[in-house]
Amino acid sequence: MKHIIPSFALAAGLGLATLLTPAVAQQTYPSSAGPLRIETIAKGLSNPWALQFLDDGRMLVTERVGSLRIVDRDGTLSPPVEGVPKVLARSQGGLLDVLLDRNFAQNRTLYLTYAEPIEGGGRTAVARATLDAGEKPRLSDVSVIFRQQGAISRGQHYGARIVQAKDGNLFVALGEHSTNREMAQKLDNHLGKVVRIAPDGSVPKDNPFVGKDGALPEIWSYGHRNPQGLAFNPADGKLWEQEHGAQGGDELNIVERGKNYGWPVVSHGVNYGGSPIGSGKAQAPGMQDPVFHWTPSIAPSGMTFYTGDLFPAWKGSVFNGGLKLQLLSRVSLKNDKAVDEERMLQGLGERIRDVRQGPDGALFLLTDSSNGRILRVTPAK
């Protein structure tokens, strides 16, 4: 597809205002919906990677070093939750995504994705556990329900976003470990794939490659590079994914059963240094075109579809964090097509690792640093 040039020119940030509470800072930035107020809800997190809201309004946050924390509404961080599996916290690896089961209020079940240490490196794994969120938070009944098969990672491209469908099945987006990009086109491994598993890790019988010789039955789609965002569009239930390209060619895709998304045969970007990727083409028969691509790359991470009332003009838009360009990208959609892109918070000066919609309709962001923050985005007026 033709890359869409942003139509909304954004000014620089308007400065920092310190509130009466010393731990809370407020900034204001322009947007198409009017000035945005950015509040620091919590800070002092070690490279936070993912955020989920508990049913009582508190937040669960993963730290890449291997800690899971509960964050109170006043920003207080719990001690690290006990019982988290051992992770390989090296390069891009560590404790990654967290997901609450659809029936969490009844069963207190959650899922974690992480870089599991094995001889020579790591692989993406999924663990299921029960959360006790009391004064001494802990996980119990921890079991590993999925382990990525294929060449090990030496530190890069774990992917690891996870979502749950209405039928209870889990989708996990998996990277191709960077040095093993060609495996994304082969079905005998899990590298560069989106997989679909049941909550206990078993294989749903209607997965597209069940019973196919030489194919792993968990695979739902393939030809991915390094997925960093995964979300269902609540308007129609379709599964969307975004992934890093190399030098350009970050993609926003609708993930469909059994489809091939092209990596590393086709790409809208080029290799680092400028050489062509694969065929040197952006399209090929039998391979899915992205709905949208970022060229040059913004290194997207974390995504959410906006459904709240605080920003009515943004309903139906998909938000993506930006690591490389340190921004928040909003892509407006119509009939599964990208209509426009707006880039915000470009004066923030921090990598945005995750984007979530809060229960109050605000946008919540995680900033990726050794002193990472949780930010709340609301209208300034």
Per-10-residue mean pLDDT of the chain, 381 residues long, equals 37 29 66 97 98 97 98 96 98 98 98 97 98 96 98 97 98 97 98 98 98 98 98 98 98 98 98 97 98 98 98 98 98 98 96 98 98 98 77
Asked if residue 7 is part of any domain, the answer here is no
Q: pTM of the prediction?
A: 0.93
What DSSP letter does each residue of 101-115 carry, written as one string? -TTHHHH-EEEEEEE
Provide the 3-class DSSP secondary structure of residue 304: strand
Residues composing the chain:
381
What's residue 342's pLDDT? 98
In a domain, 5, yes or no: no
Asked if the structure places residue 322 within a domain, the reply is yes
CATH value at residue 159: 2.120.10.30
Of 157, 177, 224, 293, which is the active-site residue? 157
In contact, 45 and 69? CB cutoff 8 Å = yes
Query: What is the pLDDT, as a whole number, of residue 25?
Result: 58
Q: How many domains is the chain built from?
A: 1
Angstrom CA distances, 277 to 156, 181, 281, stand at 18, 11, 8
Look at residue 3 and tell me if it is in a domain. Answer: no
372-379/363-367 β-pairing = antiparallel
**pLDDT for the residue 180:** 94
Find the domain containing 342 and state its range.
16-379
DSSP 81: P
Burial class (CB in 10 A: 0-12, 13-18, 19+), 215: middle
Please check whether residue 2 lies inside any domain of the structure: no
- C-alpha closest to that of 58 among 361, 281, 339, 359: 359
CA dihedral 296, 298, 299, 301 (to 10 degrees): -150
Residue 305: predicted pLDDT: 98
Active site residue 157: yes
Residue 217: asked if its preceding bond is cis (omega within 30°), the reply is no
Per-residue pLDDT at 5: 37
Residue 238 lies in a domain: yes
In this predicted structure, what is the pLDDT of residue 27?
Answer: 86
Question: Which residues lie below 8 Å from residue 330, measured CB to CB, with a gap of 6+?
Answer: 306, 314, 317, 318, 319, 341, 342, 343, 344
